[in-house]
Amino acid sequence: MVHFANRTKLMQASEIRESYKLMGIPGMISMASGSPDSDLFPVEDIIESIMSTFKYHASEALQYATTEGYLPLREKLVEKMKQTAKVECTTDNIILVSGSQQGLELSAKIFVNEGDYIACESPSYMGAFNAFCPYLPEYESIPTDDIGIIPEELDKVLARNEKVSMIYVIPNFQNPTGHTWSLERRRAFMDVIQKYNVPVIEDDPYGEIRYEGESLPSLKSMDTKGQIVYLGSFSKIMAPGFRVGWICAEPEIIEKFVFAKQGCDMQVTAFAPIILSEYMEAHDLNKHVKKICDSNKRKRDLMLNQMEENFPDTVKWFKPEGGLFIWVTLPEGINSKYVLDRCVENNVIFVTGKLFYPMNGPENTFRLNFSKMSEENIVEGIKRLGAILKDIVNNREIL
């Protein structure tokens, strides 16, 4: 029998990806996915962009490319960073990656030694923990509330633990909670981290998916010491199948990302970035994002209304101003894994909240997604889930 590296003991399947197997069951309604709505992909415009790519850039699209990525797309991202993230930068600050997920893995690769600590929000994105785990980190979980991470708690951690080598945060429409940091919290966070020489990974896949309220400046736009590494992605604003994201950071940090990337895949394919560049040249990406936001807002509001009608009064949830998720809290003592098992029997699924904690977390939370589902399935799915919750709560099934 072959022997595996010790790090493989920590590797495990993503429960969300495993739930995809259940989606194929006839009649199954999934609120587990974090996917965008496939019906909103601008297919005709993408076909047009593919044709343009083959007409004008075929050789380049099919050839090896630089590790940094297709220059014309990076030039467009310089403008995009200025417009959406309020960041002034140049192409020297940007590298393309295979979705922001690769950006997370590379971040741990260049910043984290075995036994170092990563400070993160509690809860936080489970996919990040999967990306970080091969580098064998420990975690410092920083408490959060409805308006973001609590800076005073982060300060205490950084002051006492010199082995924190990276901070990971999602300030906009956080996955899984949907929370968005207030402007005051962003400023307070920056005041704290500028006291320490610790890099911060600002993961922002949902920032443009806003339904109401004012857009807030990115942490990167407040960065005066070059500590913030910003991760962006086309997955939620175009289509995840492109597998194109980007990193914006100081040139000396980008250089390390280039070296790290050359050790795993050399480059992002040139094909997808050229298609995206051609699309952005000929079409209004902001107009398309608005279409996504309008559709998602309708679905969010419908799901919230259905939850109000169908859930027991003792079940609580947070209304996000954007993003893809609604975070639900059950009464103390009710295990969301038991609720999920009951739901699977009734052909409806979600993601349990405990998975979003790097260490042990509460067992009475779960995450719902509304972007991928049809409106009809939102109504039926919440009806099924509500009936199960009422049965459990009314019978006080404490588990």
Distance between CA atoms of residues 98 and 208, nearest Å = 19
Residues of the chain with CATH 3.40.640.10: 44-282
Rounded distance, CA 99 to CA 78, Å?
17
- pLDDT (tens digit, 9 = 90+) per residue, 251-303? 999 999 999 999 988 888 899 999 999 999 999 999 999 999 999 999 999 99
pLDDT exceeds 90 at position 11:
no
pLDDT digits (tens, 9 = 90+) for 221-256: 999 999 999 999 999 999 999 999 999 999 999 999
Burial 139-171 (b: 16+ CB within 10 A, else e): bbbbebeeebbbbebbbebbeeeeebbbbbbbb
Q: Which amino acid is at 84?
A: T
pLDDT for the residue numbered 398: 47
Which letter does DSSP use for residue 82 in this model? Answer: I
- Specify the higher pLDDT residue, 26 or 175: 175
Q: What is the pLDDT of residue 21?
A: 64
Reported CATH class of domain 6-42+287-394:
alpha beta
Say what the pLDDT of residue 18 is.
56
Domain with CATH 3.90.1150.10 in the chain: 6-42+287-394
Q: What is the CATH number of domain 44-282?
A: 3.40.640.10
- Give the tens place of pLDDT for each residue, 77-119: 999 999 999 999 999 999 999 999 999 999 999 999 999 999 9
Q: Each residue of 63-73: pLDDT tens digit?
A: 999 999 999 99
